[in-house]
Amino acid sequence: MAGSEMTKPRLRDLADPTRPTSLASRFRARRGAAVRALIAEIAARNGRCAILDLGGTPDYWIKIGVDFLRQHKVSIEIVNREPGELGVGASADDVMSLSVGDACALPQFADNSFDLVHSNSVIEHVHSWNNMIAFAAETRRLSENYYVQTPYFWFPIDPHFFTVPFFHWLPAPVRAWLLHNFPIAHSGRIADYSRAVNVVEGVTLLDKKQFSWLFPDAEIRFERVLGLPKSLIATRIKRR
């Protein structure tokens, strides 16, 4: 019992973004600093920064800093497949808006409609390689500048299933069986086997070769932990 109680906080420290001291929170803070730098550069050049966030959340941008966003005349359109609510009231509704759409096909937006397209841990959830191609094409079409982050396949821990190292390297049927029988998912054991299969199919991590192919005009860099590459980040900034 004591060993189990000691282990649980360590697991939460790895992946719980709600804990300020967790590893996930530290990485998000580091990414936030990089995103703020991109926004500041674009705003200095254009006098404002209109952002399209593919699959994001208002909470992410609250952590970036609402005062910072206002200072740099930032407007953010957050697109998700399901309708949502800002949930931030007057604190940021002048900065952010929500809309429904498929990040793999956004014909409602013209080419280069935004100053920056942003995506954090979304492309691995679009279900197929062809959808990833479409997602990347829309990202590149909608702005000259983009920032895309995704977990790295060859890092031994998948942040979606952080309790089991090497989980994402197992065959899909084995992963579904484990999710169905053990509390590996964030929400615990998945009693419905069909849902367990859908969860497995809903996460496909990328390696550097795949990511570089999807974003050939980007600078690709690793986010590292203990020297090991943990995430991939693609950044394209057009500087005139």
pLDDT digits (tens, 9 = 90+) for 109-167: 999 999 999 999 999 999 999 999 999 999 999 999 999 999 999 999 998 888 789 99
Predicted confidence (pLDDT) per residue in 40-53, tens digit:
999 999 999 999 99
Stated as kind and residue range, the H or E segment containing 27 is: helix 23-46
Question: Domains in the chain, ordered, with CATH?
Answer: 2-155+204-236 (3.40.50.150), 159-202 (no CATH)
Residue 238's pLDDT is: 86
Burial of 127 (0-12, 13-18, 19+ CB in 10 A): middle
Sequence-separated (6 or more) residues with CB below 8 Å from residue 194: none
Sign of torsion, CA 102 108 110 115?
A: negative
Share of the chain above pLDDT 70, in %: 85
Residue 66's pLDDT is: 93
| CA nearest to 28, candidates 71, 70, 57, 50 | 57
Q: Are 212 and 220 in contact (CB under 8 A)?
A: yes
Sequence-separated (6 or more) residues with CB below 8 Å from residue 58: 78, 86, 87, 88, 92, 96, 98
Q: Would residue 231 be called left, alpha or beta, if left means φ above 0 and alpha means ψ between -120 and 50 degrees? A: beta
The span from the CA of 77 to the CA of 185, in Å, is: 30
Share of the chain above pLDDT 90, in %: 73
